[in-house]
Structure 1
Amino acid sequence: MSLTIRNARPWGSAPTDVVVRDGRIAELRPYDGTSPAAGDVDGRGRLLVPSFSDVHVHLDSTRIGLPFRPHTGAPGVWAMMLNDRANWRTAEVPITERVRNTFGAMIARGTTRVRSYAQIDVDCRLERFEAVLAAKEYFADSAQVEIIAFPQAGLLREDGTPGLLEEALGSGATVMGGIDPCLLDRDPVRHLDIVFGLAEKYQVAVDIHLHEPGELAVFSTDLILERTRALGMQGKVTLSHAYQLGSVNETTTRRLIQEFAELDVAMASVAPPSVPGQLPLTELTAAGVRFGLGEDGQRDYWSPYGNCDMLDRTWQLAFTNGFRKDELIEHCLAVATVGGASVLDPASARLTSVGDRPGVAVGDPAELLLVAGETPTSAVMDRSTDRTVIHAGRVVADGLELV
């Protein structure tokens, strides 16, 4: 299968004709002014960048497209989880439909690579996981998806949770999740023994939510790094959130960045506002640490934020980091696209400097987004709806509508 994209500007460069064959970029040649033939895509001088990779999203708790509901959650992970548990079944439409509609909206806006959490506990059992799995299968030709078997309520607080997670890993989940080993379960050794034990048994990656503060977060992280090293799981572990790992002191910050690089531990962020003490993005990049972006919740029972648009979240990443220079804002776009892709696939291109702009060269996967904008920075600032989304060398959405 072949496709030619005419008059596109890769990362804002000169107008180019891009030939795609068998799901990969096969040729890049100067735009020759020829009108698009049947089957070609008219780039119309738009920017061509890699499509988005949302590597931290909770598809199973979405309320996208439903009537607005005032936020009722109390502070803290356990209290927020109980609020979600009390409400998710009574939404206006069934969960399978909610997940499918939200995922479709994400694809339409330019996301073709996704890592989604699926809450598994003694209340919902595998119902929410099965809704995410159904959406993955429904959109199998439009996006690629990894599903995390996620113990949102912890692993140890309710009897039977580890067995349900193992059932999900045997039914299509490809990542083992964990959450706040000290703060939520209050037994980090047992918690991490279960997480890494199941990951090793099923030969899957690990993704651990870490909301813990300062010194406690560093303590949990050191236990995670210890297991990563002992089990030879380099390239298979991601820390999500981990907001305060940079809050202890400069020596600890440097040490953690160095160990993340040595063990190829990735990080996923949702660009949180007003959270001091995060590890510095530019230093993580310079060390070669894989770093991706995600939307987290989608207007759900945890938060009214999230709108399925990773271009908006890219703006948020730049804004919350205080970036103004074009190079740094474009770096945020690279993080949201290729950076996230490297979290999903450690063998793919990764960012090693704020000036890297991979993803649109010959040989790269044809996971692409055409979007209106004078420059990549202006595209992040203006967030045009004039977008064409390409997955595996095929147009899957245009003008925010699925094809």
Structure 2
Amino acid sequence: MLITNVRPWGGEPCDIEIKDGVTVGVMPHDPARAATGDTVAGRGRLALPSLADVHCHLDSTRMGLPFRPHTGAPGVWGMMMNDRDHWREDEWSVAQRATYTLGRMIERGTTRVRSYAQIDADCGLERFEGVLAAKEAHAGRCEVEIMAFPQAGLLREKGVPALMDRALSSGAAVVGGIDPCTLDRDPVRHLDIVFDLAERHQAPVDIHLHEPGALGVFSVDLILERVRALDMAGRVTLSHAYDLGSVSEATTRRLIEEFAELDIAMATVAPAQQRGLPLAALTAAGVRVGLGEDGQRDFWSPYGNADMLDRTWQLAFTNGYRADELIEHCVAVASRGGASILQDGPPRLNSVADRPGLAAGDSADLLLVEGETVASAVMDRSADRTVLHRGRVVADGLNLVD
């Protein structure tokens, strides 16, 4: 394949040659260049690495269904019970909703996804199986890692660890955990179960952490203790961790240093209140950071629209970024940063100025999008997009390509 007349990361016009799903050459644009095989007209658009959503809940999405007024009660447990009370009422099955939403994500430029799949005494494996069906429906268009996620905790209801074990034997790739102190109220036992499952299935771990301030730091220290003891460096992600930066400057520095030492990755959803560890400092220390949309118009929240470029705008906005370099860094986080968290992903970002993903040898996962500059593309979020996964066009003009 030859992609003609695109501007990698907003640079000079180039032609990109792809073979066997890999970029093999990036050359100055030549209108007279002879094309062999397929040709994609770049038309002067930007060429960016495709986006990676490393924190979404495809099992709870209501995208494509009529808008529903929000009925959730405050707090994780209140929201979870609201979801439990209503998720079976939807006009579409979990598989239909997950498949539709994943298709919208691909159309808008996402080709790598880590999705939570709720495992609990209420739904058993039904929601996991729905996400697995969506993954299979879009095989070849998108890489999907499914996380077995105990949304209601591991200890509050009988049989959840056994259900998690079954999911991990049936296609789930990641072991999830959630708020070891505030939800299960037994952090040692909760984390023992999580890391035992990870060891038995040789799977990475992703902990959903909403806990505030010093309590969140306490849970993180228990996690770090296990990472050291079990030689799990590079295999653990902390998701959300909204409040870890609120305790003290010394604690912030220590956590960043330890995350870098043990290769603890972080997934953010760009929350409105920025009390987490600072994004630029994490990248400068070598910590892998990815971005996700979280819920997408579900029983938890009306927010989310399947467009990771929209969430990239939110990441820049909530961090107070105005400089082009920092807005571009948000694009790097939303693309290669997130991809580096997933198994067999590309290398991590090296600095806030790192702009990887479009050199010879890189996987040809690309987003071509109209824009004067990368920053303007984030602000405008044009519908003129072409999406490639492994060197094949999978979406164009916000429509899937067969």
- Range class of TM-score, shorter chain: over 0.9
Residues 297-344 of structure 1: CA deviation (Å, up to 9, x unaligned): 010000000000000000000000000000000000000000001111
> Are residue 304 (structure 1) and residue 302 (structure 2) matched?
yes
Q: Which residue is 1:174 aligned to?
A: 173
Give the distance between the partners of 1:36 and 1:78, measured in 2 at CA.
Answer: 60
Give the distance between the partners of 2:233 and 2:2, measured in 1 at CA.
Answer: 38
Give the distance between the partners of 2:344 and 2:104, measured in 1 at CA.
Answer: 27
> Are residue 49 (structure 1) and residue 44 (structure 2) matched?
no
The number of residues matched between the two structures is: 400
Q: Which residue is 1:229 aligned to?
A: 228
Q: Which residue is 1:142 aligned to?
A: 141
Residues 245-279 of structure 1: CA deviation (Å, up to 9, x unaligned): 01000111000000000000000000000x24210
Give 3-state SS (helix, strand or coil) of 2:54's partner.
strand
Give the AA of the match of 1:339.
G
Cα offset, 1:34, TM superposition: 3.2
Of 25-34 and 117-126, more deviation after overlay is shown by 25-34
Q: Which residue is 2:317 aligned to?
A: 319
Find 1:370's aligned residue among 368, 371, 376. Answer: 368
Give the distance between the partners of 1:339 and 1:11, measured in 2 at CA.
Answer: 15
Q: Which residue is 1:157 aligned to?
A: 156
Alpha carbons 1:11, 1:376 under 8 Å: kept = yes
Q: Which residue is 2:105 aligned to?
A: 106
Find 2:12's aligned residue among 14, 37, 46. Answer: 14
Q: Which residue is 2:339 aligned to?
A: 341
Q: Which residue is 1:353 aligned to?
A: 351
Give the AA of the match of 2:376.
S
Alpha carbons 2:274, 2:319 under 8 Å: kept = no
| Structure-2 change in CA distance of 1:36 and 1:320 (3 Å) | farther
Residues 342-381 of structure 1: CA deviation (Å, up to 9, x unaligned): 1114762211211100011110111100000011000000
Alpha carbons 2:56, 2:115 under 8 Å: kept = yes
1:22-61 mapped onto 2 (5 Å cutoff): 22-34=20-32, 37=35, 39-61=38-60
Alpha carbons 2:339, 2:345 under 8 Å: kept = no
Q: Which residue is 1:127 aligned to?
A: 126
Residues 120-148 of structure 1: CA deviation (Å, up to 9, x unaligned): 00100000000100111111110001000
Give 3-state SS (helix, strand or coil) of 1:208's partner.
strand
Residues 71-124 of structure 1: CA deviation (Å, up to 9, x unaligned): 000011111000000111110112211110000000000000000000000100
Gaps in structure 2 of 5+ consecutive residues: none
Residues 227-260 of structure 1: CA deviation (Å, up to 9, x unaligned): 0111111111000000010100011100000000
Give the distance between the partners of 2:130 and 2:32, measured in 1 at CA.
Answer: 45
Give 3-state SS (helix, strand or coil) of 2:151's partner.
coil
Alpha carbons 1:349, 1:358 under 8 Å: kept = no
Q: Which residue is 1:278 aligned to?
A: 276
Give the distance between the partners of 1:183 and 1:95, measured in 2 at CA.
Answer: 28
Find 1:385's aligned residue among 383, 386, 391. Answer: 383
Find 1:289's aligned residue among 278, 282, 287. Answer: 287
Alpha carbons 1:60, 1:117 under 8 Å: kept = yes
Give 3-state SS (helix, strand or coil) of 2:70's partner.
coil
Give the AA of the match of 2:43.
R
Give the distance between the partners of 2:34 and 2:69, measured in 1 at CA.
Answer: 48
CA RMSD in angstroms comes to: 1.0
Give the distance between the partners of 1:364 and 1:254, measured in 2 at CA.
Answer: 33
Residues 173-202 of structure 1: CA deviation (Å, up to 9, x unaligned): 000000000000000000000000000000
| Structure-2 change in CA distance of 1:276 and 1:329 (3 Å) | closer
Give the distance between the partners of 1:337 and 1:347, measured in 2 at CA.
Answer: 11
Give the distance between the partners of 1:7 and 1:222, measured in 2 at CA.
Answer: 50
Gaps in structure 1 of 5+ consecutive residues: none
Give the AA of the match of 2:150.
P
Alpha carbons 1:6, 1:36 under 8 Å: kept = no
Give the distance between the partners of 1:314 and 1:400, measured in 2 at CA.
Answer: 18
Cα offset, 1:16, TM superposition: 0.5
| Structure-2 change in CA distance of 1:323 and 1:346 (3 Å) | farther
Alpha carbons 2:61, 2:101 under 8 Å: kept = yes
Give the distance between the partners of 2:344 and 2:189, measured in 1 at CA.
Answer: 28
Give the AA of the match of 1:104.
G
Give 3-state SS (helix, strand or coil) of 2:211's partner.
coil
Give 3-state SS (helix, strand or coil) of 2:326's partner.
helix
Cα offset, 1:221, TM superposition: 0.2
